[in-house]
Amino acid sequence: MSSMDAHPARPRHLAAEYAAQFGDEEVASAYQHRPPYPSQTFALVEPLLGPRPRCVVELGAGTGDFTVGLAPRVDALVAVEPSRAMLERGQHRTAAGAPHVVWVSLAAEDYAFDRPCSAVVAAEAFHWLDWHRVLPRIADSLDTGGWLILVERRVAEPPPWDADLRGLIRQYSTNQDYVAYDLVTLLESSALIRVGGRVETVAVTHRQSVDDYVESFHSRNGFSRGRLSARRAGEFDHKLKTLVARHCADGAVPVSVRARVVWCRPER
């Protein structure tokens, strides 16, 4: 058992065995079907990045969903990502237009933090990290006045089929330990961070095909096609498509998305 699994404040569904699913090729492949961050997210983050020149570290950069919007706002960006399948996709997305982005194939806990940072960013990733290992290193690396910035995108308005969807997720997810939680609340209540402020974007509607909407679930923890049997994955897809089709006669699924930005400092 790792230290991240043993900490009493940490929900069981965030255990290392579940975090490992994001190394699956199947999860990385499905990531492109997640709705994008609202463009306002990056306007809210920019004032928190510190004075120029800005050297920023992004932890758990994934396939670059947040990286591509962050890159134009910084002078040097280190994108740390342990999943080779995700990192390769992220590298491809930033290779042409953002030569100042350096991708590092490491777990965040193993990154050296060998240069001062004007900010450290984690977008939908920090909950998977070993907080007790990584937070002291972030604290040591931040410039005076620098922030740890936590970003989450979330569904702004539950769809009409939400109750049935929750039932399908409970039935088919390989992660049966899930409980509702709030990352920032957990970190604050454990005296691990001091929050400087928080803000949310306005909701933005992203429209996608039924097939793409269903495939987006396979980018989530508990729904890797590499860990679900082909039969159960097929059953889930069929039931969700049937459910959504009742409400989306034109074949397009509207997904209402907003992002939350929280800036904080690690407690020493």
pLDDT, position 51: 94
Domains of the chain: 3-155+176-203+257-266 (3.40.50.150)
Token code pair at residue 122: 């984690």
For 249, phi then psi, to 5°, come to: -65, -25
**pLDDT at residue 10 in the model:** 82
Band the pLDDT of 268: cuts 50, 70, 90.
Answer: confident
pLDDT of residue 1: 44
At a CB cut-off of 8 Å and minimum separation 6, what does 26 contact?
Answer: 218, 224, 225, 226
DSSP assignment of 78-122, as one string?
A: EEE---HHHHHHHHHHHTTT-TTEEEE-S-GGG----S-EEEEEE
pLDDT in tens, 77-108: 999 999 999 999 999 999 988 999 999 999 99
Q: What average pLDDT score do residues 198-205 get?
A: 98
Flag whether pLDDT at 6 surpasses 60.
Answer: no
Q: Rounded to the nearest 10 degrees, how much is the dihedral formed by the CA atoms of 108, 111, 113, 114?
A: -170
Determine the Cα–Cα distance for residues 102 and 61; give it in Å rounded to an integer.
Answer: 11
Q: Range with the lowest mean pLDDT among 1-10, 30-39, 65-74, 168-177? A: 1-10
- What is the tens place of the pLDDT at every residue in 102-148? 999 999 999 999 999 999 999 999 999 999 999 999 999 999 999 99
Where does the pLDDT of residue 8 fall: very low under 50, low under 70, confident under 90, or very high at 90 and above?
A: low
State how far the Cα of 89 lies from the Cα of 31, in Å rounded to an integer.
10
